[in-house]
Structure 1
Amino acid sequence: MAHPGFFQRQASARRNTSLLVCLFLTAVALITLAVCLVGYFVTRSESSALAFHHWLLSRHGLWTAGAVVALIVAGSLIRWIDLAGGGARVANMVGARAIDPDTRDNDERKLRNIVEEMAIASGVPVPELYVMDNETGINAFVAGYTSGEAVLVVTHGAITQLSRDELQGVVGHEFSHIFNGDMRLNVRLIALLAGILMIGQIGTFLLRASFFSSHRSLRSSRDSRGQAAIGVIGIALLVIGYLGVFFGRLIQAAVSRQREMLADASSVQFTRNPEGIAGALFKIGLKGGYLDTTSHASDMNHMCFGESARMKFTALLASHPPIEERINRIQPGMLVRLRSRLRDTEPRANLRAATVSARPGMAAGFSGISDDIYSPVSRKRTSPLVSSASTPPAGTKLSERVGTVNSEGEDFAVRLLARLPATFRGLLYTRAGAVQLCYALLISELSREQQRERMELIPSHPILGGEPGLLEKLVPALKSIGEGVRFPALELAMPALRKLDPEEREGLMSNVQKLVAADHRVSLFELALTSFLSRHLGPDASRAMPVKYRSYRPVMPALQRLLSLLARAGTSSSGDAEQLYTEAMAGFNDTRKGEQPVLEKVTMRQLREALTALNGLSPLLKPAIIDACGHCITHDGRIDVREYELMRLVADQMDCPMPPLTA
Structure 2
Amino acid sequence: MNFFEHQAAARRRSRQLMWMLAGAVACIIALVDMGVLLVAGFSGVLSWRVLVLTSLAALATMAVAALWRLSSLREGGASIALGMGAEEVDAAPVDSARRRLRNVVEEIAIASGVPMPRLFVLSSEDGINAFAAGYAPTDAAITVTAGAMRQLNRDELQGVIAHEFSHILNGDMRLNVRMIGLLFGITVLAECGRKALHVVRGRGRSGLGLAVLAALALLVAGSVGLFFAKLIKAAISRQREFLADASAVQFTRQTSGLAGALKKIAGLPTGSRLSHAQGAEEVSHMLFGEGLDGLDWFATHPPLLARIRMLEPGFREGGLRALRERWGQVSPDGLAEDLALGLAPDTVGLPAASSQVLLQPSQVVTQVARPALHELAQAAGLRQAIDPQLHALVVQPQAVQAVILALLLDGAPERRAAQQALIAQRLGAPVAGQAVRVHRVWGQALHPVLRLPLVSLGFPALRQHTPEDLQVFSATVDALIHDQGGMTTFTYCLGWLVRVQLREARRPRMVRQHGALALSAVRAECVLLLATLAHAGHEDPIQAQRAFRAGAQALFTGAAPPYRPPSAGLHALDGAWPRLDELAPAGKQQLVAALVRAIGQDGRMAVEEAELLRVVCAILHCPLPPQLPSPIA
Candidates 209, 231, 241, aligned match of 2:222? 241
Query: How many Å apart are 1:114 and its aligned residue?
Result: 0.1
In the alignment, does 2:622 pair up with 1:636? no
Q: Could you say which residue in structure 2 is the equivalent of 1:485?
A: 450
Partner of 1:117: 107
2:220 pairs with 1:230: no
1:258 and 2:255 are equivalent in the alignment: no
Alignment RMSD (CA, Å)? 2.8
- The 5 Å alignment of 1:93-492 reads 93-211=83-201, 214=203, 223=205, 225-285=206-266, 286=268, 287-311=270-294, 313-314=295-296, 316-334=297-315, 339=320, 342=323, 346-347=325-326, 358=328, 362-364=331-333, 368-370=337-339, 375-376=344-345, 388=353, 389-392=355-358, 396-443=362-409, 445-447=411-413, 451-452=416-417, 454-459=419-424, 465-466=430-431, 468=433, 472=437, 475-492=440-457
1:527 equivalent in alignment to 2:492: yes
Specify the code of the residue in structure 1 equivalent to 2:153: S
**Alignment partner of 1:129: what SS?**
strand
In 2, Cα distance between equivalents of 1:443 and 1:295 = 46
- Report the counterpart of residue 67 of structure 1 in structure 2: 57
Tell me, what secondary structure is at the counterpart of 2:119? strand
Gaps in structure 2 of 5+ consecutive residues: none
Establish whether residue 13 from structure 1 lines up as the match of residue 4 from structure 2.
no
Aligned partner of 1:575 among 542, 545, 553: 542
Shift of 1:246: 1.2
Distance (Å, rounded) in 2 between the aligned partners of 1:505 and 1:371 = 45
Name which of structure 1's ranges 391-400 and 301-310 shifts more when overlaid on structure 2: 391-400
Please state how far the C-alpha of 1:513 moved relative to its aligned partner.
3.9
Q: Secondary structure at the match of 2:444?
A: helix
SS in structure 1 of the partner of residue 144 of structure 2: strand
Distance in 2, Cα, partners of 1:251 & 1:409: 37
CA distance in 1, matches of 2:426, 2:525: 39
The residue aligned with 1:83 is 73
SS in 2 for 1:486: helix
The reply on whether 1:654 has 2:623 as its aligned counterpart is no
Q: Distance in 2 between matches of 1:75 and 1:513?
A: 39
User: What's the TM-score, normalizing by structure 2?
Assistant: 0.91
Distance 1:226 1:97, change over 3 A: farther
In 2 relative to 1, CA 179–21 (structure 1 residues): closer, same or farther, beyond 3 Å? same
Match of 1:217 in 2: none
Question: How far apart are residue 662 of structure 1 and its match?
Answer: 3.0
Q: For residue 153 of structure 1, give the secondary structure of its aligned residue in structure 2.
A: strand
Are residues 493 and 371 of structure 1, via their aligned partners in 2, closer, same or farther at CA, if it must alter by over 3 Å?
farther
Task: Summarize deviations over 1:46-103 as a string: whole Å, max 9, x none.
Answer: 967x7xxxx6xx1121112111111111111111111121112212221221212122
Change (3 A) 1:37 1:437: same
DSSP 3-state at the match of 1:117:
helix
1:428 & 1:276 partners in 2: Cα distance?
A: 30
Q: Is the 8 A contact 1:560 1:599 kept in 2?
A: no
Offset of residue 395 of structure 1:
7.2
| Residue-by-residue CA offset, 1:297-353 (whole Å, 9 max, x unaligned) | 111011110112222x22x1111101111011112124568537626xx35x6xxxx
* Superposed counterparts of 1:547-562, under 5 Å: 549-562=516-529
How far does residue 432 in structure 1 lie from its aligned partner after superposition?
A: 2.1
Inter-CA distance 442–338: structure 2 relative to 1 (3 Å threshold): farther
Relative distance call for 1:442 and 1:605 in structure 2 (3 A) is closer
Q: Secondary structure at the match of 1:26?
A: helix
- Equivalent residue of 1:205, what SS? helix
Q: How many residues align?
A: 623
Distance in 2, matches of 1:635 and 1:628, equals 10
Bigger-Rg structure (1/2): 1
Tell me the percent identity.
Answer: 33
In 2, Cα distance between equivalents of 1:530 and 1:42: 64
Give the SS at the match of 2:292: coil
C-alpha distance in 2 between matches for 1:483 and 1:440? 14
Pair 1:596 & 2:561 matched: yes
Given that residues 416 and 485 in structure 1 are in contact (C-alpha distance below 8 angstroms), is that contact kept between their aligned partners in structure 2?
A: yes
Alpha-carbon deviation of 1:603? 3.0
Distance 2:319 2:170 in 1: 29
The alignment partner of 1:639 has SS state of: strand
Post-superposition offset of 1:250: 0.8
**Aligned mates of 1:37, 1:198 — CA distance in 2:** 18
Q: What's the secondary structure of 2:604's corresponding residue? A: coil
Q: Cα distance 1:190–1:494, how it changes in 2: closer, same or farther (>3 A)?
A: same
The question of whether the paired residues in 1 share the 8 Å contact of 2:547 and 2:598 is answered with yes
Distance 1:366 1:133 in 2: 17
1:598-655 Cα distance to aligned partner (Å, 9 max, x none): 1122533321322221111111221110000001122234322442343123211211
Q: Secondary structure at the match of 1:457?
A: helix
Deviation of residue 499 (structure 1)?
A: 0.8
Mark the runs of 5 or more structure 1 residues left unpaired by the alignment. 215-220, 350-357
Of 149-158 and 604-613, the range deviating more from structure 2: 604-613
Does the Cα contact within 8 Å between 1:164 and 1:372 map onto a contact in 2?
no
Q: Is the deviation greater in 129-138 or in 191-200?
A: 129-138
Matched residues in 2 for 1:425 and 1:524: separation? Answer: 25
Q: Which amino acid aligns with 1:130?
A: F
